[in-house]
């Protein structure tokens, strides 16, 4: 059974053949906005995908003494990915540390909690500005069927998330009021 990371790798390879390094780079943007994986995780998952026949590779001359592997999606991998895309996502446990801290925030000094939310607000506003620049570069959504459509659609989700989090941080700051600890 293919893992979610495996499907993320298949989705990257559906856009074109890549080395392991290129797959990791492809996972940073835009996938890294909503799904992360390290090189060791990607390498281990590639081995599983190879064993399952979902990806293959061609050896090419590399920059060092060893050949580099350029991975590609097999017909089986493409079929597996197409089937997975339309299945409902698995239930996932919510684990939001900031929300958990908010639940217990009444135990802390209001000024320190307010400072934490001010820092979170700044981080969300910075990501929101970055996402807005990326959205402007698109000039509108690409047509469905264009691989960039997925980039744009996930970017729109990220925009909504960052706007929501920034609004919630502002609300929390307002609830905590002025504080001398800031």
Statement: residue 181 has pLDDT above 50: no
Statement: residue 182 has pLDDT above 70: no
Question: Which of the four pLDDT bands, split at 50, 70 and 90, describes residue 28?
Answer: confident
Statement: residue 180 has pLDDT above 70: no
Per domain, the residue ranges of the chain are 4-85, 97-176
Question: Higher confidence at residue 34 or residue 44?
Answer: 44
Indicate the CATH number of 4-85 among 1.10.10.10, 1.10.3720.10, 3.90.1150.10, 2.60.120.10.
Answer: 1.10.10.10
Q: What is the pLDDT of residue 46?
A: 96
Residue 102: closest CA among 88, 85, 114? 114
- Over the stretch 58-108, which tens digit does the pLDDT of each residue have? 998 888 888 899 999 999 999 999 999 999 998 887 889 999 999 999 999
Residues of the chain with pLDDT > 70, as a percent, come to: 98
Phi, psi dihedrals of residue 104, rounded to the nearest 5°: -100, 5
Q: What is the pLDDT of residue 38?
A: 84
Question: Higher confidence at residue 165 or residue 66?
Answer: 165
């Amino acid at each position: 059974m293919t893992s979610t990371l495996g499907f993320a790798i298949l989705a990257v390879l559906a856009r074109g053949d890549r080395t392991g390094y290129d797959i990791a780079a492809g996972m940073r943007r835009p996938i890294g906005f909503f799904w992360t994986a390290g090189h060791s995780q990607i390498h281990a998952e590639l081995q599983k995908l190879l064993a399952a026949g979902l990806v293959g590779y061609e050896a090419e001359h590399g920059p060092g003494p060893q050949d580099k592997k350029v991975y590609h999606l097999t017909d089986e991998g493409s079929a597996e990915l197409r089937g997975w895309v339309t299945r409902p996502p698995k239930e996932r446990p919510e684990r939001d540390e900031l929300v958990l801290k908010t639940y217990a925030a009444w135990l802390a000094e209001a000024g320190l909690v307010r400072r934490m939310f001010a820092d979170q607000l700044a981080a969300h506003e910075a990501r929101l500005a970055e996402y807005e620049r990326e959205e402007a570069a698109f000039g509108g959504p690409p047509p469905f069927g264009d691989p960039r459509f997925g980039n744009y659609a996930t970017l729109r989700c990220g925009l909504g998330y960052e706007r929501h989090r920034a609004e919630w941080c502002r609300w929390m700051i307002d609830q905590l009021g002025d504080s001398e600890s800031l």
